[in-house]
Every structure is written in structure tokens, then in C-alpha cells.
Amino acid sequence: MGVLRGRRGGGGWDAPGPDDFGPSTSSAGVGKQQAAGVRQRGGAALLNAALGRLDAVGWRRAALHQRRWLDGAVRFAADNLRPKLDSCSPLPATCDHNRLERCANCVTSAPVALVGVHTMRARRTPAGRLWGVSLIAVGANSCGFHASSGAVRPHCRRLDYWTIAVASTAMLRCVYPNVPLAATIVSLAATPWAPFLVSTINTSSVEVKYLSRAAQEPSLRLPVLAHGVCCIAGLVCFKMEDLAPEVPLTHATWHCLSAAATATFNHLVNDVEEHELGLGAGDGRRRRHKP
């Protein structure tokens, strides 16, 4: 504490002036505050610099993650959208274990071609006859695949899947006569890249129409039942090729069941021709319904 020093004047003691005190406590407080402020400003600067570095690291990490994601997306697109020679069947020879299996698979490719011949004769529209031609192509390509060997075999397998997808597109136009032409073009354009997906979408659409019409038309219920039994048995055979490949003639049996299931679609196409297009038996021209 400072020492009080006063001056005595004529009238007594004068009040002490500012210089009469010792070291000022207010000056010391200001100095401490200034030092504290310097330290605070230094700490804030360090904190801001650290946050800036963390922010930069965060942006770099985000950019790195985004780049990795984009690289993965590009690789996925390249692996799945690029046409591959063996994309349809990584092991195209698993269904032909020996000469007996190969001969049986070639012979049982004929039923679907015979279904195509029957379809060409029975159908009354250009779309129906075109579907029949596509079924004949399916049978021919199936036989060619099972008879092939060596380097040409993957090409035949690829062509086999393509013809099945094209046949499903032709069948869709028979069952849905008013399907837009653009949808058919897209389906055909996607066939080389995703034949199984094209076949699945088209066949599922036809199955929905089949069940819907069978619920309204009693004459279609027995064909739908036969179709369902053949499809379920065919799926069992198709799965057995993976689970028990040593079972003989599994693929040949699947050929026959698939041909039978395809043949039942003619009942649906006939119903569409009669009720939606107004075509009678033996009539190849479109007729108007009488009011």
C-alpha cells in the first residue's frame, strides 16, 4: 500500500494529490488485464489455427471419401454395364456333363420350337406370329448351344440368352397389344446387357395378366393351373442343377417343363385376340364388336 503524504498549507492540511500515493494499484490491475488479454488473444489464435487445420483435414477426408465413392461407382458401372462374353453364364458347360446329357439336351430343345410352329399357325395377328418365330429361334439356339464346344460355346450361350429375352419381348406385345413402341425398343436395346432382367420383367408382366384374366374368365383357370405346376417343377429342376448337379437329365427335364409352360400362354393370347382385338376363330382381320 502506498504511503500517504500531505502538504500543510495555510488553512491546514491539503488533500493528497495523485503524486502523493505510492505505486498505483489501478496501473498494476491494468497491466495484469493487458497481459491476460495478450494471453487470451494468443490462445484464441492458437485455437483458430488448430480449428483451421482440423477443418482442412475434414475437407480432405470428405474429398477422399467422395473420390473413393465415385471410383467405386465407376467400377461398378464398368463391371455391370459393360457387355461381357461370359456374363450370362460363368460356367456354360455345367449342364452337359457327358455325351448322354448333351444329346438329351439337344433333343429336348425341340419341344419349344414345336410350340413356336403351333403358335405361328394358331395366332391371328402379326405380333402373335412373330412370337412363334421367336420361339423357334429359342429352340434352335438352345440346341446349338448344347451341341457346341470350345471357344464358340460362350458365344452360343450368350446368343441363347438373347433369343429368350427377345421372345419374352414378343410375347409381351401379344398379351398387351397397346404397349408403347418405345417400351419395346428399350427392352430390345437392353437385351445385350441384361437379358435375364429383360426376360424377368416381361414374363412377370405376362404372368400378372394371366392371373388377372383367369380370375375373370373360368375357361383360363385350368390352363393357369397347368402353367403354375410346370413353372414350379421347372424352377425345382433349375435349382437342382446347382444343388445336385450329379442328378442325370435335370436340364433336359427343365427343357420339357419350360416348353409346356410356354405352350399354355397360347390360351392367354387367344383370350386377348378374342376379347381385346375382336378376332374370331380363323379370322385374321380385326373386327368390331357389335354394340
For the chain, 291 residues long, give each residue's pLDDT as a single digit of tens. Answer: 444 444 444 444 444 454 444 444 445 554 555 555 545 555 556 656 655 655 555 555 654 555 565 555 545 544 544 444 333 343 444 678 889 999 999 999 999 999 999 999 999 999 999 999 999 999 999 999 999 989 999 999 999 999 999 999 999 999 999 999 999 999 999 999 999 999 999 999 999 999 999 999 999 999 999 999 999 999 999 889 888 888 899 999 999 999 999 999 999 999 999 998 887 655 554 443 333
Distances (CA, A) of 96 to 101, 201, 233, 258: 5, 28, 20, 18
Give the torsion sign (CA, 174, 175, 177, 183).
negative
Check if the beta carbon of residue 184 is closer than 8 Å to that of residue 205.
Answer: no
pLDDT attached to residue 98: 87
Q: Tell me which residue has cell 497491466.
A: 31
Cell numbers for 230: 410346370
Strand 12-13 versus strand 8-9 pairing type: antiparallel
What is the predicted pLDDT for the residue at 68? 60
Q: What is the pLDDT at residue 246?
A: 85
Residue 244 has what pLDDT? Answer: 87
State the pLDDT at residue 15. Answer: 47
The confidence score (pLDDT) of residue 269 equals: 96
Name residue, grid cell 420350337.
Answer: 113
- Quickly count: other Cβ atoms within 10 Å of residue 3's Cβ: 7
For residue 220, what pLDDT is reported?
96
Look at residue 216 in the predicted model and tell me its pLDDT. Answer: 95
Among 214, 262, 206, 205, smallest CA distance to 234 is for: 262
Q: pLDDT at position 82, please?
A: 42
Give CA–CA dist 115/263, Å, rounded. Answer: 6
Contacting residues for 143 by C-beta, under 8 A, at least 6 apart? 106, 109, 110
Output the pLDDT for position 91.
42
Write out the H or E segment, with its range, that includes residue 8. strand 8-9
- pLDDT on residue 241: 86
Q: Which of 214, 197, 166 is nearest to 87 (CA)?
A: 197
